[in-house]
Homo-oligomer: A and B are copies of this chain.
Amino acid sequence: MSDSCEEKKAAVADAVKAQGEVVRRLKAEKASGQTISEEVKKLLSLKEQLGLEEGKHTFVLKTPKGTRDYGPRQMAIREAAFKVIVDTFKRHGAETIDTPVFELKETLTGKYGEDSKLIYDLKDQGGELLSLRYDLTVPFARYLAMNKVTNIKRYHVGKVYRRDNPAMTRGRYREFYQCDFDIAGQYDPMIPDAECLKIVHEILTELNIGDFIIKVNDRRILDGMFEACGVPSEKFRTICSSVDKLDKTPWSDVRAEMVGEKGLDPEVADRIGQYVQKHGGQALVEELLQDSVLGPNAACKAGLTDMRLLLGFLQIMGITQQVRFDLSLARGLDYYTGVIYEAVLLSGGDPQTGEEGGEGGVGSVAGGGRYDGLVGMFDPRGRRVPCVGVSLGIERIFSILEAKQTDVRTTETQVLVASAQKDLLEERLKLITELWGAGIKAEMSYKRNPKLLSQLQVCEEMKIPFVCIVGHAELEAGVVKLRTVLTRNEDSIPRDQLIEEIRKRTLCSPSPQ
């Protein structure tokens, strides 16, 4: 809408408001019916004018801020990535569930800490207060508590909503997909946790989007370390947030934040500094278990013992080369209670923006951890259901795949039914109906008398591998011309053998996806 148009509309709107006030006052003063009705007439005329102004305004043709459409090519890439992800979840025996895109507002309240301000609320229309889901984890926990499910292995692929400042060129959106895999249930330590990491490893390997590393830590190690280093307990979460910035910020800046903004004793900060800059593997676990400060701390010890177990399992699964025990990993969300992890792309970064993946956090494609307390927050009796899970962010993965893949088919059509001469529409319809009936993916032109050349061009453009050409001569001879688009070879196939022949050839042809 142009500014001047906007201004004019606003002026009329103001006039409507003022005139409405006049009418209300007259009614309150019990003015004569005649007077009131005259003023009402003026009001209606102004309202009509406003309506016309509104009708006239130029339409803004866009999607909401931070959202986008997916066109056919993008969808083909996205669905291929979903297939890799979902197939992996299924290979590990997961079921799937679905939950509504919005939840009661109070279901989300108190789960996301500071980020709660990013939640989309719906307008209260005289019903319930509703919000769009912020992740798939909280609805999952609500589902478990509501249905009294105490163990399940489930995946869920769905859109979530965050009113963040979108950095769309970096693959950050306000509406985006998450692919979640979670294991709920009371089990022996670290066995389901190890499987979550194995799944991330399998998916990132199969997607073939470059080298990656999975950082692992444990909230109990962090909390125990804070305690042992002398951080006051009420500062645990805020110091944890500072530590979380170490992937993007040097220690000196993080230390300054701890001491300056958050009022942490400089000596305490320095003690933390020794630890949070460490990363390694099983040897680091042993070193910290022997450490004179951390070793005796109960929380640290519990976390480190489990870390030893976890790394042992991952060793058997053959994925320790891409796994790093990293004391700087903290993760933002409040609800984690044990092991936490995050997968980061190492090289390549985002080829669309030329941004380095590095370890700057921008390459983060998956994250998760253990949250043993969340379901209990929903259960009326506070019954706990231990959970561990991982969430893959498809948008970043998608933008890498999109830049990599240049040759994508958007349909799976195997055969175009074409005609060589005029007046063959009915014959094409007859043939294509047979093909559809046999489960063959087939298309035809929606023109009554399309040119043969333009029909063949469609096949080249859409990469349709075969053409059935119907012609008067062929009809008389009881055959169909079957053309292979790539080789331009044509064979006359008896009509009653056509389907069998197409089935044979499409099995051998390059698979449509």
Which A residues have a C-beta under 8 Å from some C-beta of B?
A: 58-65, 67-72, 75-76, 78-79, 90-104, 106, 120-125, 127-128, 130, 132, 142-143, 145-147, 152-154, 159, 163, 175, 183, 185, 187-188, 191-192, 194-195, 198, 202, 313, 316-318, 378, 380, 410-413, 425-426, 429-430, 433, 436, 439-443, 446-448
Contact = CB atoms under 8 A, between A and B. Distances in A.
B102 A64 contact: yes
B123 A123 contact: yes
A64 B104 contact: yes
A92 B145 contact: no
Contacts of A78: 98
Contacts of A443: 92-93, 153
Given A121-B123, A187-B446, A316-B429, A147 B71 contact: yes
Nearest to A443: B93
B61 A317 contact: no
B70 A98 contact: yes
A384 to B, nearest CB: 15
B187 A69 contact: no
B380 A58 contact: yes
A442 B91 contact: yes
A96 B75 contact: yes
Contacts of A154: 72
A91 B185 CA distance: 42
Contacts of A127: 65, 163
Contacts of A102: 64, 67, 175
Given A70-B97, A441-B90, A188 B446 contact: yes
Nearest to A313: B429
Contact of A441 (B93, B436, B441, B447): B93
Contacts of A106: 59-60
A299 B443 CA distance: 31
Each complex incorporates copies of this chain amounting to 2
Contacts of A143: 69
Given A121-B122, A317-B433, A443-B93, A99 B130 contact: no
Nearest to A183: B446
A267 B59 CA distance: 43
Nearest to A161: B101
Given A64-B128, A69-B97, 6 more contacts: A58-B380, A67-B100, A71-B97, A76-B95, A91-B439, A92-B443
A95 B436 contact: no
A440 B121 CA distance: 43
Q: Which 7 A-B pairs have the closest CB atoms?
A: A187-B446, A72-B95, A93-B443, A67-B100, A70-B98, A188-B448, A121-B123
A61 B145 contact: yes
Contacts of A195: 446
Nearest to A57: B106
Contact of A98 (B75, B91, B413): B75
A130 B125 CA distance: 14
Nearest to A88: B436
Contacts of A98: 69-70, 75, 78
A162 to B, nearest CB: 12
A250 B443 CA distance: 42
A76 B159 CA distance: 20
A19 to B, nearest CB: 23
Contact of A93 (B123, B125, B163, B413): B413
A64 B142 CA distance: 12
